[in-house]
Chains A and B, each alone.
Chain A
């Protein structure tokens, strides 16, 4: 049996307190309606009438007014509480007798179904319940069967229990300050294992890790895909601690794991293989520890004409690949290699103001062919302003370079080489 409590007058917090008095499990149907299971209360309180009286008595103590319905199906109890004031106790088999006089419009269904039922001549729930079930299902499908079962109190469904927000944090005060990362990781490991176990039992995974090491050290790790493996989280923490070592001995460790629904993927036979996201993230963390945080990622061009404008993105590689084109038949394009930073050059100019000879670190020769100048300017309103004349030059050793002269300083640079 299920009890449905609909608030008529009073604050919603009091209704929650009332429901909590009788059951820790409750379903929030809407802003003013709550469903609780009543099957455990029979042994504790007595008959359904006793249960209803106990609930009303407690409601009186909390100074609220409610409509109460008790029925075998939670949705039947909900229907009764919404539409019948006061106490309604629907014993098994008496659903149609009690709900029958109610008008058809109260049924939780679409206007089309209601319109069809009215055209059939049904005006009350009793009229609808009297129709042959097979005929109703033939004409209205599963929806018709569901509505008839609702009126007759047939079947049941589990409650959608509303859980209070869980706290996925842990804190440890250390007896002795710790300066080494290894024992620190050992302590964090125990905390992470416990929290991840709790998360997994709730069907959740981890999206972010936040570690606060007192004093003055913070570890923030964002996982591009939800993670349920504690070892993967710990590996990331270890790599972070290797790169950013705490400057002081740690006295308190507090960790927080942010929950998220786990990742669901559909693999395909013809999808190109790619690294497992968790392994890929560990690999990226290792590479960042080796070459620096801003040296690893997927390049993305910025929406500007400024030369060499790009940024590195971290999480884009986790999307599965898809065949987009056949590049084998496309024409081969001459590629360009950048010198970063550009090489400062000494350029000899002809009377026609063209480069004749170039000297820079690892670049030296007489210009035998050239194209240019190509003048580009932009972003005069920002610090990234540029204004320059570019030249493509071929030197006597056969190499092809791109030179440019900055307008502001009149200096020459070798930007890169066509290769």
Chain B
């Protein structure tokens, strides 16, 4: 795995990342983050049940409802089409690639899709992949993904247990401390705590999102 050879002059004259954003996030979070930046990587991290998949599927639902083609690279084959349909994802506009817990294949599939182009939202699901293997991925690979999507209108959304993309991500969102509501004998809803890690803001950059379970 190596960074594609580029001339220094190309990097020096590279256009700055586009500042446009896509409104592919829930309305309650738009005060915290106006949208997902185009031509850049947004990383979502959090522990189990913190709401990572909920945010991913909300993004896919918004993008597919707008008629866009989306791709999901599923590192651990965890995507549930039934749950996604309930969340509003139009499955006929979603390309699902199952990578069978193989980190190398997951990254190669993401690279192929980003270089192929044409997908507005590409979701890279790294949750449940071995953390040690993810941390061993060379930084050059994450930058390769960043360069693939830069200066395009595409959005790359990455979900993982802990932040792994480091400087390659333009936006980092951290989810923590889900609060489940069990009125009576039903799992009714879960309050997700969302915090913006990057870009750093002076004010308290946090919000709460309620996800309905029924």
Contact = CB atoms under 8 A, between A and B. Distances in A.
Interface of A: 271-276, 279-280, 282-284, 286-287, 290-292, 295-301, 308, 310, 312-313, 316-317, 319-340, 369, 371-372, 392, 394, 398-400, 416-419
A292 B87 CA distance: 28
- How many B residues touch the partner, as a band? 35 or more
Contact of B96 (A279, A296, A319): A296
A249 B76 CA distance: 38
Q: Nearest 8 CB-CB pairs, A to B?
A: A275-B118, A321-B67, A327-B65, A336-B83, A419-B53, A283-B116, A337-B78, A334-B211
Contacts of B37: none
A348 B87 CA distance: 33
Interface in B66-93: 66-69, 77-88, 90-93
Given A274-B118, A308-B80, 4 more contacts: A298-B95, A299-B94, A324-B67, A325-B88
21 contacts: A272-B69, A273-B120, A279-B118, A287-B113, A290-B109, A300-B92, A317-B92, A319-B92, A321-B68, A321-B69, A327-B58, A327-B88, A333-B87, A334-B51, A335-B80, A339-B78, A372-B185, A398-B47, A398-B49, A417-B49, A419-B52
Contact of B80 (A272, A283, A416): A416
Contacts of A295: 97-100
B49 to A, nearest CB: 4
Contacts of A301: 81-82, 85, 91
B162 interface: no
Nearest to B62: A327
Contact of B180 (A284, A313, A369): A369
Contacts of A310: 81-82
Contacts of A331: 212
B57 A271 contact: no
B120 A272 contact: yes
A280 B118 contact: yes
A271 B66 CA distance: 10
Contact of B88 (A273, A320, A333): A333
Contacts of A330: 61, 88
A281 B65 CA distance: 23
B17 interface: no
B27 A329 contact: yes
Interface in B158-214: 177-178, 180, 182, 185-187, 189-190, 209-213
Contacts of A282: 116
B105 A290 contact: yes
A399 B96 contact: no
Contact of B109 (A276, A279, A287, A327): A287
